[in-house]
Amino acid sequence: MGQKQRGSSDVDNEVKKRRRVGFSVIDDGVEAKDCITIYLVSSKEEFDAPESFVIHPVDLNNYFNDDGKIYGYEGLKITIWVSSISFYSYADIAFLSSSDRGKGITDLKSALQTIFAETLVDSKDEFLQKFMVDNDFVRTNISEGEVLKHKAFKEKICDSNQHTDSSASNVEVVRLVGGNMATGQLYSHLIPLTLLLVDGSSPIDVTDSQWEMYVVCQKTTDQQGEIQYRVIGFSAVYRFYHYPDDSRLRLSQILVLPPYQHKGYGRFLLEVLYDVAIAENVFDFTVEEPLDHFQIVRTCVDTLRLLRFDPIQNVVTKAVSLLKQGKLSKKTHCPRLLPPLSAVEDVRKSLKINKQQFLQCWEVLIYIGLNPVDKYTENFVSIISNHVKSEANEASNTVQMDDNLANQEEQLQKLVQEKVNQIKLIAEKVTVLHLRKKGVAVD
């Protein structure tokens, strides 16, 4: 790591000046997010380029003291570069002065080591040299993996210094198994970005053979005609035992690198994971504490699959018909309108979608079936309200609710509106994707 400091004589003079004044300035510290900038670079040329891709971490403050602040520095600026080729990193630390003003001096090197571990190199020269020495890092570590699926993407997915035609961009998903040295090597280089970009993430035990990594790679040909692999994203999946002689897959981590997000790669990876679950006939496929954005992608993927799943179309049509039969507000009993257990079991067996996830998709399927939905909005909101209230009652033992009944009702109405808005968003995305798969042009 590069580090600039003032001469010792200058520091001594400042200490003497403070002693003559008779009191010291309280050190308010600086939040890590306010003095650290992280760049993702793919070449030596991008190192000093102003257009280099900036990474925006979830919460850097977690790695610095209990209050998330850095103490003991004036004019602190930390610039970190991460290679998108081999995921080595280098940090340049610059500051005007350093002194203990009552709260100590934060050990910056130790804090950065906590995040970047073995990928953090000591010098700029060493970091830049990695672009030459470790150019085959990804290809070497996935060479023993199983290629599961190829796909040509129309979107331009090249790094900023490349000009490859988007039509020539091929992507493949490779499966690596835990307990393998190559798997551990690749994962150890990817985990720093996972910690920075995925809220609440923690490293998995890659020595456990029940863990599997699914790596999304961009396959390109360089100017010398050599095939190169670049990591676009990855997922970590654990294979659990399910009584009596079955297994189930649980997705623990998934990350698409920032330059490639919102281009369909996360959806592609999720589709591959479902292909694996179906091909190997596991009990079901689950997700460990999904984040909101991922849950939207997941529900889009699953709803799209359910729209093409014939065994449930009749029960969806029946539920939609009930909502079209007059206003539910005028009826003495408002039904919850849940799918029959037989449909839940069919979906689990054939599509590997578990019950909880199917219920999320079920609401979207009904919304799509009500087209034009405006005419039946009141009935649909009533059904969603029933679902939210039922979920709230089931969670009342673990979730603290406001004692005031009026406040409770306000909270519930807010939850209902948020859920309806999310269902509408997902339904719109799914409808567009469904029409595209059928060959219908959509603006």
Catalytic residue numbers, as ranges: 288
407 alpha-carbon distance from chain centroid: 34
Burial of 89 (0-12, 13-18, 19+ CB in 10 A): buried
Helix (H, G, I), strand (E, B) or coil at 231: strand
* Total residue count of the chain as it appears in this document: 443
CA 36 and chain centroid, separation: 21
SS3 187: helix
Residues 6+ apart with CB under 8 A from 443: none
Short-list 269, 276, 285, 271, CA closest to 349: 285
What is 85-128 written as a DSSP string? Answer: TT--EEEEEE-SEE--SSS----HHHHHHHHHGGGEES-HHHHH
Q: What is the largest CA-CA distance in the chain?
A: 86
Q: How far is CA 73 from CA 4, 32, 177, in A?
A: 12, 12, 44
* H-helix segments, 263-376: 265-279, 292-307, 313-323, 341-351, 355-369
Which one, of 347, 342, 385, lies nearest residue 363 by Cα?
385
Whether the Cβ atoms of residue 156 and residue 169 lie closer than 8 Å to each other: yes
List the one residue out of 435, 423, 440, 341 whose CA is nearest residue 387. Answer: 423
Q: Which of 350, 373, 207, 340 is nearest to 282 (CA)?
A: 350
In degrees to the nearest 10, what's the CA dihedral of 327, 332, 336, 338?
-80
CA 151 to chain centre: 21
| Contact assessment for residue 378 and residue 372, using Cβ atoms and an 8 Å cutoff | no
- The answer to whether the CB of 263 falls within 8 A of the CB of 175 is no
